[in-house]
Structure 1
Amino acid sequence: MTSIADDWGVHEAQFWLRGQAPEAPVSYDPEAGIWCVYGYQEVQHVLANPATFSSNTQRVIPQEMLEGQEDFSEGNLIQMDAPEHKKLRGLISHAFTPKVVADLEPRIAELTGELLDAVDGHRMELVEDLAYPLPVIVIAELLGVPSSDREKFREWGSALMESTQEFSFADPSEDQRQQLQEAMQKVSKLSDYLREHVEDRRRNPREDLITKLVQAEVDGEHLSDDEAVNFSNVLLIAGHITTTMLLGNSILALDTNPEWFARVRADRSMVPRAIEEALRYYSPFAGTARATTAETELGGERIPADALVVTFLGVANRDPKYFTDPDIFDPTRDPNPHLAFGRGAHFCIGAPLARLEGRVALNILLDRFPNLRRDPDRLPKFLPSLSMTGVKELPLVF
């Protein structure tokens, strides 16, 4: 049997730490043309200071790389700073309050049961059978789009992951530009799809999030179609990929630490803590970008204005200055102030929903399949992205 550690080591070296943890908390990568922030304290500082580290990274990316992407900026929460970000985020904050999220638990449990009922024999592929369809159905129902179209969402959304593979902003090659353009053409299909729903809700309002976006007002003005489309786009993609990676990474971490898997099976009160440790150990969004608005000092380095800065959340979550034995998976870790969902104004608004989906799904999985484990004859496959850490295939047996 091939060792999962061997395969995961290749994944780490290629997509995450590139083989070893960096010694300096901040360094410049001349080949990629980015400033890399690895230290926990330094990452916190970047995320907590949007005045210096802006979320609007498009303004520092070479314009030739942004050709054809102009329509994706309006209403894109990820690229916004205050006060616009705060105003738009407020439009949907009511959809993710603790009560609203808690009320979704019966539906999440029902969907989990239905998806597991469809599993045949004594094998399953976790992502295909549960970790992908569960959260995408939930967010699709909230938005008001047919969950039966989820294979389309997967095809279009995968283009975003593929476009975040290793890329040089200092000297992008023609091949890299072409790959990016092809990826954005796929993403535009999702935007066209959502535009049809936005236009329909203007004519035929319903009880869903897209209708609320269409009807919402910011400073007395309604959102434009582009703003409503891009807002919905972010919610749909981010609303499912986080949970997909969270659930897959949790099972992977437990399977590779069988003593903890046994303890979690026996004591379900440990499930939430196991999920939190998996978020730290295999951080789903391993990196996030910012752009400096002025020259600044960070980690002993002078970073110029208009520089692209990437905070490596996955590395910061293993900073030995803040986490004892950071390379050990320990669900009893307390405190566990990981940065997997970010910090500050851009803290993941769907974090409570992702945690709920993970907790419900993991408990039901263990109820149904108490002997669940990784298929010893098939290795996991990982997402081909520098900015994401997660499995795209995780074969299991029970």
Structure 2
Amino acid sequence: MDTAYVIDTLFTLFSITLIILMVPGFAMLEAGLVRTKNVSSVLTVNVMIYAVASMAFILIGFHLAFGDAETTTMSKWAFFMFQMAFVGKAINIMSGGVGERARLLPLTLFTVIMGALIYPTAVNISWGSDWLKDTLFDINMVDLAGSTVIHSTGGWALLAAILVIGSRKGRYVGDQMRVIPASNIPLVVLGAMLLWIGWFGFNGGSVGSIATKEAADSVALTIFNTNVAGLAGAISAGIMIYARYKLFDITMILNGALGGLVAVTAGAHLFTLYDALAVGFIGGLLVVLAIPLFDKVRIDDPVGALSVHLVNGIWGTLAVGIFASNAVKNITFMNQLKGVAEIAIFVFTVSFVIIYLINKVFPFRATDEEQQQGLDVSECGLEAYPEFKRAI
């Protein structure tokens, strides 16, 4: 008993380390995709999200999510830290999508509410203590590591924020869309690859145990399928982007990989090799299709977070009902769809109301002049690249 306890505790601590490695992953990805005049503000937001969201979850959110739940298979502190490591990821999804025009103070206020109340409630009605299930919700979906609970939750909050805040200055002029290129492609690649590596702890650690032969096989299968889906997403996005434009866009290829990783997150422990390949391949295609679609309706998302996390969070959760319905009893497409819909209604509605109210007191959107100058100056007083000529 003690041996298994120690092994599972060590495994969980290692998984936590990989998940927290995703913090610099998000930071580098976003820093590379925004203009140089906004890099310091993006990095500050990412650090503050990790600190503030984690603290809000430690002090309030964990109990809301899990009640008085105890674990006997590993150290309670390891379990606690593992759940804490997840919370910032949902808000990181939002931060990148409102980049280059969102102020730090109101975003931090929303982070507190997200970490203490919104995300823990989503966890409660899916993974956690379920005290709301008998009154409002009856979610019976399978979502191993959070295609819906984390990725779609962050995506719905982001959509609410964009609808309140609006697009970046100069992004849409009349009927024309202005292309704003990424400022640092090497950082984009580094950030995406750190996220990819972190996903092995994200999904593998969610299996919960590695101390028996069966558990070790399940962890290995989960990580294997996670990687396969990322590979398939990168390949499908590369094929599609070349077929459409006769170019290989590395940012789109990487977003395709991330889309595949998001999609497989719900059922990586249940899929076969070919299931994971199909889920990831479709995930990459969805990213390439969704990014221009959001632009057509003037939803300004600098990093493609809605396409990667919201669209593929939905797809990945539904894919469990398509590919794994024979693997585990009671998995059905309708149960998966119901879970997606209930989380969507709750998170989007509550997020929109809270963001709208915060915006009335502390405006989220930086002024046009501040956006033109760059948020590094107005929000941080510290430019990431002071010797560079600023792009307008």
Same fold by TM-score greater than 0.5 = no
Which of the two has greater strand per residue?
Answer: 1
Q: TM-score by structure 2 length?
A: 0.25
TM-score, normalization by structure 1? 0.25
